[in-house]
Each structure stands twice: as structure tokens, then as C-alpha cells.
Structure 1
Amino acid sequence: MGQQEKPATSLTGAVSEEISASLAPVDEELARRYPGDPGTRQPVHTVYVPGDAFAADTTRSWGDAALAALDEHAPDAGTLAAVLGLPGALADDIHTRVRAKLEREPVEDLRVDFEDGYTPASPDDEDGHAARAARLIAEAHAAGTAAPYMGIRMKCMEAAVRDRGIRTLDIFLTGLMEAGGLPEGLVLTLPKVTYPQQVTAMVRLLEQFEKARGLAPGRIGFEIQIETSQSILAADGTAAVARMIDAAEGRATGLHYGTFDYSACLGVSAAYQASDHPAADHAKAIMQVAAAGTGVRVSDGSTNVLPVGTTEKVHDAWRLHYGLTRRALARAYYQGWDMHPGHLPTRYAAVFAFYREGFEQAAARLAAYANRAGGDVMDEPATAKALSSYLLRGIDCGALDTAEVARHTGLTRADLDAFAAPRRAELTTHTR
């Protein structure tokens, strides 16, 4: 090998120490603002159910209705493949997995809605509905029948409904505490946020609840719903959504795009209000860039074209929903809203096809990277992170099986986690 050369330097160690000291505030700022993805499961969708309609069997009834729609309008793999354009080689597997998902876990994230979709007979009814929602969610967790994520969408922080929203949230959270405590997977949604100060108000509200109930500071997080133009571009020309994330003081878990309120805010006519409208793409791109690295996740909106009526109409609605979902996944919007049980078959068909189609290539590339084996693509750590995140998302939703991923990559779940969130994995290792 020859004699190893002796390196020479010109700078003293004091130079490095001085530079490190000058950048210490930046290091702290980067760690605080951009901690990276939390490494937890992200649901593929959110289902909204009005507070007066939510019942103990809502999750199961959605699954049963979705299965009935599948049996009536696409009873076999060939029919589903023909309607959606699924690859023939994957059709049987996807149809089987969709059925199994609807039987086992039809809803990944359920939000009991006390906002736009909620029309109680009288204002006083909301107290009872909020208390009932808390009781039913607590009972579902106790029985093991809860969706992985459940919570409420309260009314917004605008003056006309602010007090009502605060009271509903208080009743709901208090009900959960009285029933045994806040469950894992609790999610709260704050809609129609226009100013960062409204996010700050939500933070102060949750702080007061945590103090009143003896909870650890920061225990309760929330999603910010982006439904107004002012939440994207503030009056001073800045990206308001970035300031909202900062105003949440680490409590923001997601940014959810509201397709129809946002479109209407910009004057888009009803016939063209859709998640693939250029205005929607612009808003979500700003949301995505603002959230990148912060640990806050972005969710796409929904379609209001419901798969109901004749088989022909259902198939048309399914093709639309499938296409919008695949489009969103390609743009790294891994979550969306579903407004009807009939949307569940195509939600899962789209998600499963997305992960099944790219599985073998992603697994091979990650295995080659992990083994330093090379290949026809030169991947870097950032690509390995994306590949492992892709596989983990596929496992979490049921598109992929842990055993087959291990078989194709030679990697364990812990290995995938380490590639997907290396900084977080390193911190976890050091703190064990």
C-alpha cells in the first residue's frame, strides 16, 4: 500500500473552536425548528363524521358499507383492474389486500366533526355530542376497536364561534380525562386558520388544559387546517403557513389542505373546485416547503364526487378518486380526506398499487446501498432515507408485509427506521 502520507495543516484548533462557537445559536435553531420526521405512522387518510352522526359502530359501518360497494361494483380482481387500470400482475393481490383492509382496519384516522359538516338541532346539543364523542372514543380504545388515530375538529378561532369551539374542546378533552386519560393517537384539528396569532391562542388554550389536569407540558398537539388564502400568503407578502408552524411551538402535527373552502376563497367556481386545480397545487407546494424538516406532515384534501348510484356512476367516481389519490402520492402528499364509505376501496387500491408497483425496485436499491454493492443507480444517504421511508409507509398501511420487505432487503424494521430518520435514531441510541 506504500507509506501513509502525513497530513499538514495551516490553521490552529482555536479557529475551529471560534467558528463552532459563532454557529452554536444556528445549531440550536436548526435542531429546534427542523427536528426531522417524527418517525411515527402517518395515516393514509382522514375520515370526517359529523358530531351528531358519530356512533359506536361508525368505523365498522364504514368498513361494511365499503365492502358492500366493492362486492356490488367490483366483486373480482379483474373488474377492479379494468375500472382503475391496475397492472394485471398486481390485480389479484391488490383486490385481496383491499378486502382484508376493509375487514380489519377500514378507517385509519377518524375525526368527529363539530365544524362545517355539523348541523345540530340546537346549539345546546353540541355539549352532549362532544361528551358522547369522548365517551365513545374512550370505550373504543378500551375495547381495542378504535381507529389508530381519532379526535375532533373543533370550530375555529374566529370571533363568531370562538367561545363555542373552546367549550367543545374542553368538554371533549375533559371527558377523555374522566374516562381514564388521553389515548394514544389522539388528534385535534383547528380549522380556518388565517393568522399565526390564532395558532398561538390554541397553544395557550392547550397549555391551560394541561395545567388544569396535571398533564406534561406539550402533551397535546393539533393539526392546522389551511382553508384561506391568507394562510398561504400574508398581507406583508410572507408565507403565513411557515409562521403558523413556528407559532405552534412544537405542537403542530399536520397541515391539512381544505379543498373547497380554499378554492372558494380564491373565487374558483364550484365546477372547478378540486384538489388538482392549479390553485390547489400552489397552496400545497407552499405548505410542503414550509413543513419540510419540521416534523409537521402535509395532507391533501378530498373530492366531493361521491361513488353512489348506478355501477357506471360509481366506476366514474372511483376512477376520479383513484387518479387524484395516485397523483397526490406521486407529489409526496401521503394523506388525504375521504368523505364517503365508497371512497375507501379506491383509497386503498391507489395506496396499495403505489407501494406494490415500486416495491421490488425500492427494496433492491436500498439493499444495494446498505451492502455497498453498487448497481445501476448511485444512491446517497438522502435517497436511502426516501427509500426506507417508502417501504415503512407501505408496511404501516398494509400494502407491504414486514417479512417480504426483510426478505428483499435483508433489513429489519429497526434498520429501516435508522435509514429513514438517522438523526432521530442516533439520538434514541444515545439516550437508551
Structure 2
Amino acid sequence: MPAAAGTRHASLLSGAADRIVIERGGRRMAIRLPRHGVAALAAALALLGGWSIAAAGYVFFHDAVVAELRQRSNAASKGYQAELAAMRDALERTRTKGLVERSSLDDRLAEILARQAAIEKRQSRLDALADLGGGAETKDRSDITFSLKPAPMDGASAPEEAAPAPGLRSSALGEAEKVASALDAIELDQARALEGVALKTAERRRTLERVYDAARLRRPAVSDGRARGGPFEPLPAGSLTFETRAEEIQAERAAVSAYEAGLSRAPIRTPAPGASISSGFGARPDPFLGRLAFHAGIDFERDAGESVRATAGGRVTNAGWSGGYGEMVEIDHGGGLATRYGHLSAVLVRVGDEVKIGSLLGLAGSTGRSTGPHLHYETRVNGEAVDPMRFLNAGRLLAAR
């Protein structure tokens, strides 16, 4: 340490002298102070030094505190921001989940409504086929209700609805599943009923084919005329849809309808319901001459005045007196088929009349070459008399089904 500095500091700190000597640059200056002045100056210098230290410390401490506060504030701000972001994410996830669940419910409802429409369409088709095929029925499920309302369709506006509570949404989904299960049962019933119609239709067709064969009638053509072919291979079970199966049954029904239409003009019904046959077709002793003769028809026991009815539909070609037949009615049924009804006491139709199966033609009697009241009945194919029993037996086969 330099001597001047040592002397200055020694004089200031000793406090024993009444003057202050200051040396600077080789010059010395002495300041005389009273003793109490020296003490006051020393105290002032000490206070000034302490204030300087304190001020410096305060500045340093203040800066550190501010920095700490800023750091904590920044950290807190980041924490709040992160928390808010997490909350927003959670809300978005909840909203998205709600939308997904609601969308899932809407999709389920749309699916159910589509299935209901398809079931109604199938039921209409099934009812029509059942009416034709003998009446297969499905179980009555009219008690099935569904109260959930679908979302507006075709862009129609609707007021914004609050998302349903989880419990309500769960209940709605549960109700939808119940309806879906009920629809499953209905579809199964419809499939079974459809197969029932198919069986009845196939049985009806086989019966009609036997009738045609028994009557030795040509079956109506039921093909659409288009050429087809190929080896037969059985269809895998369950590979047919309802509509495809219904189309097959409809085609089968078309064949049945054609067969039935053909038989409507075939003389397969009796002209005298409940009457017994008194004389058959073919060779027999002539009732007047006693020798064998050809009987071109069959005779039904019938009291005078009892009804005589058409055995098939057709057009009346003769209505009146006709030699040995007496009062007679003849009907042309088409396809070369004709029937004759002889010995009538009264004729109730005129030539040109169109008649149906069972139409009243006249009343039984004993006109013409006859020994008593009865009905002489003939069937002719292309003008040739054939045994009426050929047709009547075929008709009995049909009636037995």
C-alpha cells in the first residue's frame, strides 16, 4: 500500500488528532477540525459506506427477485396454458365421442328403417304369392313399435338439439337393438313362409299335371320360348335371396295359372252333382231294340226338373230340339272339346251364350229317345265321342287335393 494512502487512512481511523492531513501528488494539506467534528465525519463516512453497500445489495436483490418472479410467472403461465390445452383436448374428445355415438345411433336407425321398408315390401310380395299358392302366413308381429325419431332427411332444417345424456343414448341404442332383433325374427318368418308357398305351389302344379295326363290333355306351354341349356348342378343352400326365390315361385305360379286356365275349359266337373250313373259309355243293349248298340255318352239318374250344369266354360253352339237327343244343349269348349246334354225338359240358354263352369243350362227330363227322366251326357274330341269318365275321373283327382 502507498505511504500517503497509509498516512491518510491512519489519520482518519485513529481519531486521536484534531486535524486531517491529506497528501496527494507530493502536496500535503492539513484541515483542523474540532474533536466532535472528526467523530461526526467518521460516522457520516461509515453511514455512507453502509448505504452504498445496502443500495448495491438492494439493487442486486431486487433484480434477482424480479427475475425469480418472472420465472415463476412464466412457469405458471405455461402451466395454465398446458392445463387449458388439456381441458380443450378433453372437451374435444368428449364432443367427438358424442358425435360418433350419435352418428352411430343415427346410422343404426337408418339401417332399421331401411330394413322395415324392405320387410314391408317383401310382405306385400309374400301376401300376393300366398293368395295364389294356398295361404302361407307369417306370425303377427304388429305389436313391434319403435319410438326413436330419425334425423331430418333431404336437407330439411331442424332446431339444434342438445346431445342426449349417456343414459338416454344407451337406452336408445338398446331399444334399437330390440327392434333389430324383432326384425330378424320377422325376416326368418318371411323366409319360412316363402318356402311354404313354394311347396304348395309345386304341389299344385304336380296335381294339375296329373289331371292333364289322366284326361289325356296336352299341357299348356309355359316356357317363354327362349332357348336354354347346360348340365344340371344343384344350387348351394342359402344362396338365393328373397327376391330371387320369389321370382322363381312367381314363375311357378305362372305355370299353375296356365294349367288352371286350360282346365277351366276342360269338362272335368259333373253335370249333375250328387247323381249316380245309370248307364256307361260304349257297348250296351239298346233300351228300345234290346240288341247291342254303341252308347256315345253316360246317363245320370236325374228327376225331371232337376238342374243340369255346364262341366266347363265355353260357348253354346246348339240349344233346342235335336232328334233322338230331344231338347239338347251343346257347348264348344275350344281346342276341339265339346259336350252335349240331352233329354232336357227345358233349355235355359241360347246359341252364342258364353257359359262358365257350373252355369245352369237347363232342367232334366225325358224328351227324345228316352225311357224316363235322366240326363244323357257326352264329351267329344274333334267331333268324336270319348268316354266322359276320362275327364270326370281327372276332375275327381283334382277335387281330392
TM-score interval (norm. to shorter): under 0.3
Where is the helix percentage greater, Structure 1 or Structure 2?
1
Which protein is bigger by CA-based radius of gyration?
A: 2
More strand by share: 2
TM-score, normalising length: structure 1: 0.18
Q: Which has the higher contact order (CA 8 A, sep 6+)?
A: 1
